[in-house]
Amino acid sequence: MRFLGYEWKPGAWSWMLHRLTGIGISVFLGFHIYTQTLIYGGPESFNKVMAFYKLPLIKIGEIVLMGAIIFHALNGLRIVIVDFASGARYHKKLLWGAIAAGAVLFAAGTWVVVRHM
């Protein structure tokens, strides 16, 4: 697949998604810290923040965040194996293994989140 003048193979997509999920997780962390500081404004502030966290859009965001964290973590482990354990020969197999494991973890985690909605 050609995109922006480059040939994008699975390794390139993995590289790009790893960076995007890292940025997304960092943005979420800042948002999370901000909302947690609002909790200390007293009982009314606490109740507003808790009501906000129960919104369906936030639950969908939690599912997306979980997917980003799972992909980022498993792809990070794959990168470590490729870089430090002479796994370069197996980088495609490791990528597809990480995707398969991530899909299983994502399905299980999504089931838990949706069950509590």
Residue 11, token pair as written in the block: 């390794």
pLDDT in tens, 16-51: 899 999 999 999 999 899 888 888 888 888 898 889
Per residue in 70-106, pLDDT (tens digit) is 999 999 998 888 888 776 777 888 889 999 999 999 9
Return the higher-pLDDT residue of 2 and 19. 19
Which CATH number is correct for 2-115, 1.20.1300.10, 1.10.10.10, 1.20.1250.20, 3.40.50.300? Answer: 1.20.1300.10
The total number of residues written for the chain in this structure: 117
3 three-state secondary structure: strand
Q: How confident is the model at residue 3 (pLDDT cuts 50, 70, 90)?
A: low
Task: Centre a 10 Å sphere on the Cβ of residue 34 and count the other Cβ atoms it contains.
Answer: 9
Alpha helix ranges (H) inside the chain: 10-38, 43-53, 56-84, 91-115
